[in-house]
Structure 1
Amino acid sequence: MGKLYGVSVGTGDPELITVKGLKCLQQAKIVAFPEGIQGKPGIAQRIITPWLQSHQTLLPLKFPYVQDERELNQAWETAAKTVLGYLQRGEDVTFACEGDVSFYSTFTYLAQTVQKLDASVTVETMPGVCSPMAAAAALGIPLTTRSQRLMILPTLYHLDELETALNTAEVVVLMKFSSLYPQIWALLEEKGLLASSCIVERATMPEQVIYEGLLDRANLQLSYFSVMIIKIQ
């Protein structure tokens, strides 16, 4: 039985992969990653392309960007069966994961489904840089100091969730929030937090954009890959 490796490849800059992760990636015969959309390479594939070698087998796996649980489960099972076919032939598979494998990661669902189908599969993961840390580095600020309480909201559907976070933590990180940005901006204005809030779009990628302070930025058109850091104290 082959082993399934999950390698964290960071948020965009190919140099953010760890030495251990790079060694695992370059020693792999089969490299899997999420398939891009509209025929374009996905983020993980773009990150690892400089490190890939011509003899490696590339294995793009389809993971739809939807909320429907049934469709997601079907996609994970299809991907898991594809990977399992290689593992059961004694071949290792290395999955390149954007960000960190343990931080709201597609790899988690893939690995869990593979092991559900065959409990004898061994999984090994390698940590890496995730988007809140990358955003803080891009801004040149510490994410937290001393005993500051940090709260990360990976998705935001209702402002009540943000209200609770602002009343609980001293640093709040928002991810996947762009559809609610006008309401978020209004709430931060009400609470006097616009000056101490920043946004990084596509952190560490060539297209990275930084917004330091949001006082005059009520109408930003933000991408899905945006991270907001709110400093409350």
Structure 2
Amino acid sequence: MMRRHADPTGRDQDEQGFTLVELLVSMTIFAVLMAMVTGAVLSNARAVDNAKQLDDINEEARLALLRMERELRQAQVVNAADLFTTGAAGTAGWARSITFSDDFNGDGVIQAVASDPETLTYRYLPDASGNGQIQLTADDASGTAVDRPILSGHVSDFHLELRSSQYSCDANGDGITTWQELDTSTQAACPHPNNNGLDANELNQIDSVFVTFSVFEGSHKQTYSSQVNLRNVGVGALT
């Protein structure tokens, strides 16, 4: 005679499988695990997107700085500069725009209205939210000033320090001669101080520009700086 052995779990052998409670527990654990995995995947995707966006902004900023360096380096004369009185740069006397000229085609004449204009202006357009722009202005063939953003956003500050190699005017001995020192220095060998603020007297002696600006994305901020020597200042006769 065959005997049925009792299942130690108390179940009949014909009733093997998961109970409803066990299924519910398993489904709950699976749902929790899936939520954790999905959250991790989405978080990583956001991090990758943010990193890519920041890289794109930084690359745009790097190219903008390279462009300013290249064109400033060729300048033969600084025509004008618009100064901060207060603002993000935090120091009165730093410039937020600069206008300069160079005889790019070598004909001895500065042409404002050429297919390749020879008088350029770089300026900072601040924004209350910190989302400012760096803009290039040059005349087109009809003589109309055309503004072109070279860094279209995410610029939180920008300033230019106008410097000179007239080291005899370096009143504070820090190795840097600013336009203010050109204007006011009483050093014996310093030429032509006139105490009139920034005018042609100082602009004609500017042969170096320190450029610095910051870009931001979210909580990330990156500052770019460069000292550009205007190697053609004073070279040739310009009209």
Q: Under a length normalisation based on structure 1, what TM-score does the superposition of the two structures give?
A: 0.24
Which structure has more helix as a fraction of its residues?
Answer: 1
Which structure has more strand as a fraction of its residues?
Answer: 2
Larger radius of gyration: 2
Q: Under a length normalisation based on structure 2, what TM-score does the superposition of the two structures give?
A: 0.24
Q: Which gives a bigger RCO, structure 1 or 2 (Cα 8 Å, sep 6+)?
A: 1
